[in-house]
Amino acid sequence: MRPDTPAETVDHHAEAARLERTAGLYPEDAEALLLRAAAHLELAGDRPAASALYDRLLSAGALENPSLVRALKASNLWEYGHEAEARAIIEGIRTTSPRDPAPWMIIAEALESHDELEAAQETFTEGARLLLTDVPEPPYSTRALLLAATASAACWASPTTNGTS
């Protein structure tokens, strides 16, 4: 979204189209611009078009962060009823063990938003463990993941939330 446009008056389809045109003019920034365009399409409720944009990015290759694009695609797919495909992508991300916290956060939050709480907690923990092993001081970029993993684990330890009384 452009900074000069109030959120409540945005035509998300038009903004996505503008970002796609801009990506064509600036190929070095295409990944970031197309991810923003896909977000606008999701906000517009056009999840199939957002998914097509994620596919376009993934097929182009040479992405800065392909795991992030896959995570966003999985989250989007799950939101419009493609749970099996989303789960397959999530498992693929977990298998590739990305070294960036963003994909871990996105897939764990997707699981959590669909009441897959145990799987979400496992994903938060797996991502935090992977990114924090053999690190003397956690990098700033991993702190949100660490906090989420800690909060998720604390929630599961609470007798009022884990099904035991």
- One digit per residue, pLDDT tens: the chain, 165 residues? 444 555 678 899 999 999 999 999 999 999 999 999 999 999 999 999 999 999 999 998 789 999 999 999 999 999 989 999 999 999 999 999 999 999 999 999 999 999 999 999 999 889 988 888 876 766 666 666 656 666 655 555 555 555 444
Residue-wise over 72-83: b if at least 16 C-beta within 10 A, else e? bbbbbbbbeebe
CA distance 113 to 54: 21
Residue-wise over 35-49: b if at least 16 C-beta within 10 A, else e? bbbbbbbbbbebbeb
pLDDT tens-digit profile of 102-125? 999 999 999 999 999 999 999 988
CA distance 17 to 34: 10
